[in-house]
Amino acid sequence: MQLKRIFYLLIIVIGITSCKNDDDDDVTTVAVQTLAETIVTDNATITDYLNTHFYNYEEFENPDENFDYKIVIDTIAGDNANKTPLADFVASTTLAVQVTEEEGYVDHTLYYLVAREGVGTSPTIGDDAFVTYEGSLVDGTVFDAGTTPTVFNLSGVVRGFGNGVIKLKSGTGPIENGDGTVSYEDYGIGMVIMPSALGYYSSSTSTLIPSYSPLIFKIDLLSYLADTDSDEDGIPNIEEDLDGDGNLNNDNTDADLEISFFVANYNDADDDGDGDSTLEEISDENGNIIKPYPDTDGDGIPDYLDADS
Ligand SMILES: [Ca+2]
Ligand SMILES: [Ca+2]
Ligand SMILES: [Ca+2]
Ligand SMILES: [Ca+2]
């Protein structure tokens, strides 16, 4: 669960640093970089990595019966001098990142490798996913490994991880093995390579992860819970991305209420903070959800998001 814990720590760090602070006694142990400086350095590191490393694509293309379907990375050198670099296999997606309001949003490129797509379907960024994974730095140092399948909400982990998982498809299963264990087959297998601001950015919460580290995760997507509703307010998480930008953590209708500062709508059972639960505000007297969601005063804002309705 280290992945989740660190994510929340990062949120708190960002929350603190984005508060105005004119205190001259501030002490920092790491030289502070701007987001614009960091992305230039990170992109250079990642480009170099993608051009100088390859994965066991030949095994994925022609798997023998003993192949374990694990991604193995090595450098292009010596006996492997003729291998095709990762750069020729990866795809990319662009994510807007905001660390401080002053700096605003800066586009970041997330690279991802789909080594095996998977036979199922893809989760949304709001869903709980059942995964195994291994996280490492570009020098190969492994800092976290979830070899036992683990459930993560894809918006509750570092963004580069969640946005990589949604590029994979689930497998078939669970398949009963007859000995009390279950297994999954034909699941998606991939890898993400991310700039630091899609990972842990300036926080140095683990001695193994220096500040401003680009990160790599190998990921198996076994299964996921479609239309996950984390706060059980009747609205699937993905529908709580009100601005539709694929980031559930920047939609917080009652952000002006101090107590709700860190609680985005997908984790908030009373989205407008008016004391009436969202579930009550979208349900009829029999407990059935009304669609479209009720808008009593007809101002275009549904009641559950309208504190003055
Ligand atoms: Ca919800
Ligand atoms: Ca959003
Ligand atoms: Ca909610
Ligand atoms: Ca409410």
- Ligand nearest to the CA of residue 244, numbered in listed order: 2
Mean pLDDT score of the chain, rounded to an integer? 90
Confidence (pLDDT) at 260? 61
pTM for this predicted structure: 0.88
Residue 217 has pLDDT above 90, yes or no: yes
Question: Where among 225, 257, 277 does a domain terminate?
Answer: 225
Domain span including residue 293: 234-309
Token pair in block for residue 20: 């105005």
Confidence (pLDDT) at 256? 85
Residue 169 belongs to domain with CATH number: 3.10.50.40
CA of 179 to the centre of ligand 4 (A): 47
Average the pLDDT over 108-127 and give the result: 98
Question: Where among 197, 225, 253 does a domain terminate?
Answer: 225
DSSP annotation string for 283-295: B-TTSPBPSSPP-
Domain count along the chain: 2
CA of 300 to the centre of ligand 1 (A): 20
- Asked whether the beta carbons of 108 and 197 are under 8 A apart, the reply is yes
Per-residue pLDDT tens for 182-214? 999 999 999 999 999 999 999 866 678 999 999
Same domain, 147 and 253: no
CA of 242 to the centre of ligand 2 (A): 6
Residue 307 has pLDDT above 80, yes or no: yes
Question: Binning pLDDT at 50, 70 and 90, where does residue 261 land?
Answer: low
